[in-house]
Structure 1
Amino acid sequence: MSHTTTSGRAAGLLLLAALAAAPAGCSSKASAESAPEATAQPVRVETREVREQPMPRALALTGTLRGGRQTDLAANAAGRVLETFVERGAEVKRGDLLARLDVRAAALTAAEAQANAALARAQEETARRECARYGSLRDSGAISQAEYDRIADQCRSAPLSVAAASARARAAAQGVGDGQIRAPFDGVVTERFVEVGEYVRHDSRVVSLVSAGALRLSFTVPEASLAAVKPGGALTFTVPAYPGRSFSGEVRWIGAAVREATRDLVAEAEVQNPDHALRPGMFASIALATGEAPSPVVPRSAILPKEGRAHLFVVVDRRLEERVVQTGAEKGDAVAVVRGVRAGDKVVITPSEALRNGQAVE
């Protein structure tokens, strides 16, 4: 009986020891898992306090970039395409040959028109001699005034016939020349619409051509905001192809009337494009300057573009806090922040890609 009691007590003690050891093991495992984060080394960053300063106020608009000069070049002649000399993206100068048409039929028509013009000139010369001869006969009384007037009418109509025949000859020659399709201005070929062997008409598109210099930014202004747009006004804009990069332009052309259907006004800005980064057809998010107002600003270097949005890091309680912000107007190196930070926040002025949300700061 005593032996059984002693064995029971020993088993109970072992069970209690096992139960006590189990939580300790789990706690030890959790501590081990959290150890790397707890022991991570704090990062050293350079910060600057967000301050407010007068910044340009801006009206948010959208627009589309167009070439300064842009056209779908028509053939202006009829015929089969014999050769093409450009491809998409080719840079051309004014007068460069883009395509050549088969204009043999036009050449025959031109030759016929030139022959008719030569015949008309010969007939005019004959009529002039006849007029001189009939004038002498009239003066000597050999013919009547009525007979002379009949010949004189022919003399007066002969130069008109020459002029008409010469005009037809020039038109026919123009048709032959139009078979050589040339660039009307310096630019870049954005599209070629014809291939060798195709038959084109006068109104057939051959190439689409845009000038390679300054671009036009076309945008619309709501009727309620018309006072904000003036010739010479400054604007900045961004395009999805270059997140974090800002471009500038100057308002140059403003529509004369508000469109009744949409209650807005069409305006255009001139945009310089020295590095050819911008392309016609790009969509633009525009900030049209309308004045100045105090706004929180951060250095341009603090903005970190990610996936088409602006990010920055703020130090809060000695830890990094990554924020997505909405930026506004720019002035020198200062960028206005419309949403995401306020005056007094400490932002990292040169964030690196290695920084992470929640990291400790020295």
Structure 2
Amino acid sequence: MPRSIALTGTLRGDRETDLAANAVGRVVETFVERGAEVKKGDLLARLDVRAAALSAAEAQANAALTRAQEETAKRECERYRALLESGAISGVEHDRIADQCRSAPLSVAAASARARAAAQSVGDGQIRAPFDGVVAERFVDVGEYVRQDSRVVALVSKGAPRLRFTVPEASLAAVKTGGALTFTVPAYPGRSFAGTVRWVGAAVREATRDLVAEAEVQDPDGALRPGMFASVALATAEAPSPVVPRSAIVPRDGRAHLFAVVDHRLEERVVQTGVEKGDVVAVLRGVRAGEAIVINPSEALQNGQAVE
């Protein structure tokens, strides 16, 4: 099984974001609490945007006015063109009106852009989820005044998190994309989780002389949470170590158990597992090479039970 080096890391959501208000106003409603599951587009909070709504209505009216003025300018241009062709006006007079005709579409475009921006300000008063996820934190309550950069909600995506860890400069040769690792978290003593290195930083950080890498992790029962501290074992080379079939491991109370056979009796042990490879898993602590163990133990087995 692989030899490894010890590192530390932190679990992060596959997608994490602190949603900003992107608008100015007072919070009038909140729709989520910490731990709430949301879908993309769900409304999280709403601001008082009455002033923005008035500005939007004014901008829309101005846009409508400039469009009407453009139509009037077009008719004037047609009339002055006919007058010029009949010799009733000079070319200078015609050119003055023609300049107004050319500027009218620009005025319409500018007014329409202001109307869209004003409408966007109204829409920004509704803070919505940008992706499916879980609310990690809500930073505002009804009545609070927020600005464009005010944090409203922290949102993390559902599913297995990523493991972000640091590698000292002296150990950079050990980390490669596709490399295997295992890690433990304080919440589940004795239980080991597996992962695969997927992203490796391009440069060493000068201040800390280390490199940041991330791994995809396996979390089939959803036990892991973003923010958890992790003790990481990054595989570096092959080395002998005790291995057992995966079917011998019994997860119980957040720990890995197995039954060893000692002097014709069962001995239930809490073990620390390591890297998995195929159908076997390394055991870092709790069993020695050569010991007899029970494969596919039934729930009826008990510690101290006699066996032949």
Q: TM-score range by the shorter chain?
A: 0.7 to 0.9
Deviation at 1:291, TM superposition (A): 2.8
SS at match of 2:241: strand
CA distance in 2, matches of 1:247, 1:327: 8
Report if aligned partners of 2:255, 2:270 keep a CA contact under 8 Å in 1. no
Q: Distance in 2 between matches of 1:100 and 1:238?
A: 41
1:253 correspondence with 2:199:
yes
1:74-223 superposed matches below 5 A: 74-223=20-169
- 1:1-362 paired onto structure 2 within 5 Å: 55-297=1-243, 328-331=274-277, 332-337=279-284, 343=289, 346=291
Q: What whole-Å deviation, never above 9, does each CA across 1:182-202 have from its counterpart, x for those lacking one?
A: 111000001111111111111
Q: Distance in 2 between matches of 1:304 and 1:176?
A: 52
Aligned 8 A contact 2:244 2:283 in 1: yes
Greater fraction of residues in helix: 1
1:247–1:109: structure 2 CA closer, same or farther, 3 Å change rule?
A: same
Distance 1:326 1:241 in 2: 14
Alpha carbons of structure 1 residues 299 and 271: separation in structure 2 relative to 1, 3 Å:
closer
- In structure 2, how many angstroms separate the alpha carbons of the residues matched to 1:194 and 1:168? 30
Contact 1:56 1:330 in 2 (8 A): no
CA distance in 2, matches of 1:353, 1:262: 50
Gaps of 5+ in 2: none
Does the 8 A contact of 2:69 with 2:104 survive in 1? yes
Query: In 1, are the aligned partners of 2:182 and 2:234 still within 8 Å (CA)?
Result: yes
**Residue deviations 1:76-125, cap 9 Å, x none?**
11111111111110000000011111111110000000000011111111
| Offset at residue 221 of structure 1 (A) | 1.3
Question: Does 160-169 or 144-153 show the bigger shift?
Answer: 144-153
In structure 2, the CA distance between the partners of 1:66 and 1:92, relative to structure 1 (3 Å rule), is same
Report if aligned partners of 2:29, 2:142 keep a CA contact under 8 Å in 1.
yes
CA distance in 2, matches of 1:189, 1:306: 27
Q: State the distance in 2 between where 1:277 and 1:342 align.
A: 28
CA distance in 2, matches of 1:330, 1:130: 82
The one-letter amino acid paired with 1:164 is: A
SS at match of 2:238: strand
Q: Aligned partners of 2:151 and 2:254: how far apart in 1?
A: 39
Q: TM-score, normalised by structure 1?
A: 0.72
In 1, are the aligned partners of 2:37 and 2:133 still within 8 Å (CA)? Answer: yes
CA–CA separation in structure 2 for the residues paired with 1:322 and 1:91: 39
**1:62 to 1:303, Cα distance in 2 relative to 1, 3 A:** farther
Shift of 1:314: 9.9
Equivalent pair of 2:15/2:156 in contact (CA under 8 Å): yes
**Does the C-alpha gap of structure 1 residues 150 and 178 become closer, same or farther in structure 2, counting only changes over 3 Å?**
same
Deviations, residues 115-172 of structure 1 (Å, cap 9, x unaligned): 0001111111111111111111111122111111111111111100000000000010
The CA distance in 2 between the partners of 1:321 and 1:250, in whole Å, is 33
Tell whether the 8 Å contact from 1:99 to 1:180 is kept in structure 2 after alignment. Answer: yes
Which has the higher Rg, Structure 1 or Structure 2?
1
**Contact map agreement 2:133 2:156 (CA 8 A) in 1:** yes
Partners of 2:223 and 2:90 lie apart in 1 by 83
CA contact (8 A) 2:191 2:254 kept: no
The RMSD of aligned alpha carbons is 3.3
The count of aligned residue pairs is: 299
Q: Distance in 2 between matches of 1:304 and 1:277?
A: 12
Question: Aligned pair in 2 of structure 1 residues 296, 108: CA closer, same or farther (>3 Å)?
Answer: same
Unpaired runs of 5+ residues, structure 1, are 1-54, 356-361
Q: CA deviation at 1:253?
A: 1.1
What SS class does the counterpart of residue 203 from structure 1 fall into? coil
Aligned counterparts of 2:219 and 2:244: Cα–Cα separation in 1: 27
Give, in angstroms, the shift of residue 325 of structure 1.
8.3
Aligned residue for 1:294, secondary structure, equals: coil
> Counterpart in 2 of 1:11?
none
TM-score normalised by the chain length of structure 2: 0.84
